[in-house]
Chains A and B, each alone.
Chain A
Amino acid sequence: QQQVKQSPQSLIVQKGGIPIINCAYENTAFDYFPWYQQFPGKGPALLIAIRPDVSEKKEGRFTISFNKSAKQFSLHIMDSQPGDSATYFCAASIAKAAGNKLTFGGGTRVLVKP
């Protein structure tokens, strides 16, 4: 049972393009939504995170959009660069739940062509 569904599975864009990755969740108790970036052979690294009290958050070229009523959130990579080529994971958790366990989406492999 996958509580966080991520799409697409893979994405190819040209340098300067804006890859968009979408996630949908089922559990309305989720209240923390991080995105992780993973390069081959490395562990996932926290990229940016949002809570449901805001609809958008920007950090550098990365933006999260959040739609609480639709139970969806997305990651936009502005002015994408070849160095952004990586696998991206969305996740969700309940901040005050025991263990603060993260539920991950299936991942999106992004390739940015020069």
Chain B
Amino acid sequence: DAGITQSPRHKVTETGTPVTLRCHQTENHRYMYWYRQDPGHGLRLIHYSYGVKDTDKGEVSDGYSVSRSKTEDFLLTLESATSSQTSVYFCAIRGGVDTQYFGPGTRLTVL
């Protein structure tokens, strides 16, 4: 699992509430990523980080923000959750030259 943990693993929330998902790594990797997984779409990149306080957008970044104040933690925030953000969220780290390793995922349901 490349030393990646995600919390919470499951969350149910209501539309309009803020939600923060946490990704924690133990191996001091520079690059970290947030993806969402939806049926038929594979995994789509939301945001990624290339260092402390250094982040950039992915292909589906609208409605999401991220922060990285420490190398080991990468936070994903939904400022005001919507039903379209119901999904499984995966964090990944970049290990080696090109390879990404994924965490166990967080299943988020927005009612």
A contact residues vs B (CB 8 Å cutoff): 4, 6, 9, 32, 34, 36, 41-46, 49, 89, 91, 93, 95, 98-102, 104-107
Contacts and interface: CB of A to CB of B under 8 A. Distances in A.
Contacts of A89: 42-43
B99 to A, nearest CB: 6
B99 A106 contact: no
Given A95-B97, A98-B56, A99-B31, A43 B102 contact: yes
A64 to B, nearest CB: 15
A95 B99 CA distance: 10
11 contacts: A36-B102, A41-B105, A43-B1, A45-B101, A45-B102, A46-B99, A93-B98, A99-B56, A102-B45, A104-B43, A107-B42
Contacts of B90: 43-44
B79 to A, nearest CB: 23
Nearest to A95: B98
Contacts of A106: 40-42
Given A98-B56, A100-B94, A101-B48, A34 B105 contact: no
B104 A42 contact: yes
B44 to A, nearest CB: 7
Contacts of A46: 99-101
Contacts of B4: 43
Interface in B73-96: 90, 94
Interface string B33-47: 100000011111100
